[in-house]
Structure 1
């Protein structure tokens, strides 16, 4: 079974908080980005890799590649899984990826979303995905950085 230390929803994917703060806090040695768009964008991958230390590995997979290949992760890989949306997490979980805990970091406001915290805005589709994940027993918290007090996402979903 893969060593997934934490799964983070962050619409910026890899940036300083993810590359340094969270990965060091977790003791991760691999940041795995599961995203269907970024996998074909080498420029964006290179920019994200600049934020990551040389000691940290990065991989960029589509959601389906993650589902198909995560079971082949070596025992030495301590994985910090990063996705853009709760729908991505739900697809991975339904596909058999053993996700137990989800950190919700950045879900920026766009038209049609409601801001629920300073860093998280959600729409009806997001709410539905969070409800399904909750019903599947996935633990979920809103927390920007490790030393911040966490908030249960379900307290904001009616």
Structure 2
């Protein structure tokens, strides 16, 4: 499967992605699963991404199949853990997940500088961990990796 990197970041495409992750990863395309196409401004996301990268936005249920059939090297970028767990349920095979940014919301506890988890997030993360998927939080490739699985113990 051509998914090179999977990241949950509620900001989607932003400076850390463009300036730090893309040069490090050697990918061809960013794939964003989204339930409501209206929730994303496709034009703004496209403008935020350097021209040499493809951008594909699909319903999450179509993403696992798309990734399995693609010949491109894919950076899977999601706005929430729900999208990721739905992809796994739809057959996505992946070994690791990076959490880049899940910002504060009511009832959330701080895990790292840019990662706040509520009860639903913790349930999603436990499901992901129990499937043997490694979970880390790291803002940029040069940052120290923090294991999220250990924080869920």
TM-score range, shorter chain: over 0.9
Query: TM-score, normalised to structure 1's length?
Result: 0.90
Equivalent residues, number: 153
Write out aligned runs for 1:100-115 (5 A). 100-115=95-110
Secondary structure at 1:141's aligned position in 2? Answer: strand
Q: Is 1:11–2:7 an aligned residue pair?
A: no
The structural deviation recorded for 1:20 is 3.4
Unaligned runs of 5+ in 2: none
Out of 40, 56, 60, which is 1:59 matched to? 56
Q: Is 1:45–2:71 an aligned residue pair?
A: no
Corresponding residue for 2:67? 70
Secondary structure at 2:31's aligned position in 1? Answer: strand
Q: Is 1:120–2:106 an aligned residue pair?
A: no
Q: 2:2, 2:68 within 8 Å by CA — same for their partners in 1?
A: no
Secondary structure at 1:116's aligned position in 2? Answer: strand
Q: 2:3, 2:67 within 8 Å by CA — same for their partners in 1?
A: no
Closer, same or farther: CA 131–41 of 1 in aligned 2, 3 Å? closer
Query: TM-score, normalised to structure 2's length?
Result: 0.93
The structural deviation recorded for 1:41 is 5.0
